[in-house]
Amino acid sequence: MTRYYDRHGGIYRARDGVFLGVCKGIAEYFDFSVFWVRIAAVAIFIFSGFWPVIGIYLVAAFFMKPRPVKPVQSEDEREFYDSYVNSPQSAARRLRKKFQSLDRRIRRMEDKVTGREYEWERKFNS
């Protein structure tokens, strides 16, 4: 089983869970069987009543982030994933800013390489 969390990542909701992925996320985090976590949730539901369990379950689903589609490999990836989950607009702004910076660098390189001075330097150094 691939672990989608680490000491910095915390607990995630499973994307392929039955209902919002809370039980499966808890089972994966604590390395329990999903079956037993679901049995425990149903038992608590039966013995405590409808509203407390449903309320806690929905709050857990709201606060638990969905598991990344692929495992996070670096701290930069974790930072981007966390920013995306919390604010997709902020993540889009960060990506746009990064690509604009890269675009400016590429344009400067193109200007340098296609300029007359570069050609003269290349011929002179040959």
Confidence of residue 4 (pLDDT cuts 50, 70, 90): very low
For residues 72 and 78, the answer to whether their CB atoms sit within 8 Å is yes
- pLDDT the model gives residue 36: 92
- pLDDT the model gives residue 35: 92
Q: What is the pLDDT of residues 21-30, one digit of tens each?
A: 888 888 888 8
Q: Does 3 have pLDDT greater than 50?
A: no
DSSP sequence for 92-122: HHHHHHHHHHHHHHHHHHHHHHHSHHHHHHH
For residues 20 and 13, the answer to whether their CB atoms sit within 8 Å is yes
Q: Which amino acid appears at position 45 of this protein?
A: F
Q: For 4-26, b where at least 16 C-beta lie within 10 A, e where not — what string?
A: bbeeebebbbbeebeebbbbbbb
Q: Does 1 have pLDDT greater than 70?
A: no
**What is the arithmetic mean of pLDDT over 62-72?**
74
Residue 104 or residue 72, greater confidence:
104
d(CA 67, CA 65): 6
pTM of the model: 0.50
Residue 106 or residue 88, greater confidence:
106
Closest CA relative to residue 15, chosen from 64, 79, 56: 64
